[in-house]
Amino acid sequence: MKLKSIFTMVYAVLFLLSSHQSGYADVINLKNGDKLTGTVLSLSKGTLNLSTPYSKKIEIKKAQIKSLETDQSVRVQLKNGWKIKGKLRPTAEGQYSIRTKSSNQRAVIDFMEITSINSPQEKPRAWEGKVHAGGTHQSGNTDRITFNLGGNGKLKFGQERIELKFLTLYSEENDNITSRNTFGRMQYDHFFSKKWYGLLSMEALNDKFKNLNLRLAVGPGAGYHLWDDDVKSLKLEAGITYFSEDLKNGEDTQFMTGRLAEKFNYKFSEVFSFSNDTIVFPSFEKIGDMKLRNEASLNSKLTEGWSLILSHILDYNNDAPEGTGASDSMITFGLQHEF
């Protein structure tokens, strides 16, 4: 009796374990009525590869699949180039919902739009960037032209990173230039750990209506990645800066200031994202004096590589040259391409 009880307990445990494992398998229903369970390895060139504990790898033609459900997150690529990662769940004939890990939201996709699942991972790109442009033209009672062009790029190699950014704005009304300025930034980072890095930054600004031939700020500092995941990232930086202002009218100035910066990104969904960059140059000589530039942008994805971008830019200087205002506020809208 004792031996029989032991065998009964062992059988029960093995049954529960096998039931537990099967309950967490990917499930494929075929059009001929067959049902297969296992682990979806990949789907490419119209063939799905399935791993099972009871046979060798099984190859299934995509055209023979009636429905597919995955318990694990898979990388899905669609015909329009979009890439989504999450768990596939059938919702209707030929329709699937996929819950993305990054935003915890569901997207509905058509099975026929899927070109691949778990395709080989692309090598991380050393260089990546974005460029955007926008403008308006009005004629009639008022002749007005506005134009903006900008972009940013990032180059990674080993423990080093180089970031570039530029933005130029131009507007003209009734043959009179009403705005013309160009901003540029270059930063070199060296990572000491996953979160800490040293930096050397340079910011430059030319603004016809701020009495600036060139404002140049160069200096070293240190940065820290407070957050860095698929949904959000936040970098905080601090350092010292040599500041130089070449004025159109008046006496040129050179001085040392501090530098404080934050770079924040948040991904609301696969379509919408928000970013905010702030740089503050506090004066060492007079408490309260500072220069500040803040850029807040909302990005709406149209298709893979293309999006719409709406930005608000605030440039503030409480010690502005005589005859100029302390702050400038600009809103830009344009089409952006990511490469």
Q: What is the CATH number of the domain that holds 298?
A: 2.40.160.40
Q: Is the domain of 99 the same as that of 143?
A: no
Q: Is the domain of 91 the same as that of 201?
A: no
Q: Phi/psi at 309 (nearest 5 deg)?
A: -130, 130
Long-range contacts of 272-275 (CB under 8 A, 24+ apart): 272/298, 272/299, 272/300, 272/301, 273/298, 273/299, 273/301, 274/298, 274/299, 275/299
Q: Is the domain of 109 the same as that of 166?
A: no
The CATH number of residue 77's host domain is 2.30.30
Q: pLDDT value at position 125?
A: 62
Q: DSSP code of 287?
A: T
Domain final position from 67, 84, 117: 117
Q: Is the domain of 140 the same as that of 109?
A: no
Q: Which residues contact 163 (CB under 8 A, 6 or more apart)?
A: 152, 153, 154, 155, 185, 186, 187, 189
Q: Is the domain of 268 the same as that of 322?
A: yes
Q: Is the domain of 85 the same as that of 202?
A: no
**Residue 122 domain flag:** no
Q: Is the domain of 84 the same as that of 166?
A: no
Residues 147 and 138 sit within 8 Å (Cβ to Cβ): no
Q: Is the domain of 151 the same as that of 281?
A: yes
Q: pLDDT value at position 14?
A: 44
Q: Which residues contact 257 (CB under 8 A, 6 or more apart)?
A: 217, 240, 241, 243, 281, 282, 283, 284, 291
Q: pLDDT value at position 223?
A: 96
pLDDT digits (tens, 9 = 90+) for 191-240: 999 899 999 999 999 987 888 899 999 999 999 999 988 789 999 999 99
Q: Is the domain of 177 the same as that of 99?
A: no
**Residue 17 domain flag:** no
**Residue 7 domain flag:** no
**Residue 21 domain flag:** no
Q: Is the domain of 152 the same as that of 249?
A: yes
Distance CA 146, CA 334 (A): 12
**Residue 22 domain flag:** no
Q: Is the domain of 261 the same as that of 176?
A: yes
Q: pLDDT value at position 187?
A: 97
**Residue 149 domain flag:** yes
Distance CA 226, CA 53 (A): 43
Q: pLDDT value at position 100?
A: 64
Distance CA 75, CA 4 (A): 48
Distance CA 165, CA 167 (A): 7
Q: pLDDT value at position 20?
A: 42
Q: Looking at the 3D structure of the chain, how many domains does it have?
A: 2
User: Could you tell me what percentage of the chain is helix, strand and coil, using 3-state DSSP and rounding each to the nearest 5?
Assistant: 10, 70, 25
**Residue 110 domain flag:** yes
Which range marks the domain in which residue 225 is found? 127-338
Domain final position from 117, 143, 165: 117
DSSP β-bridge partners for residue 170: 147, 180
**Residue 223 domain flag:** yes
E strand or H helix at 329:
strand 327-338
Domain final position from 94, 117, 140: 117
Q: Is the domain of 196 the same as that of 74?
A: no
* Mean pLDDT, contiguous 10-residue spans, the chain (339 residues): 48 44 71 89 89 83 89 84 82 76 68 85 72 89 89 90 94 88 95 95 90 92 91 94 89 91 91 94 86 94 88 87 77 91
Q: pLDDT value at position 102?
A: 54
Q: pLDDT value at position 151?
A: 94
Distance CA 323, CA 234 (A): 37
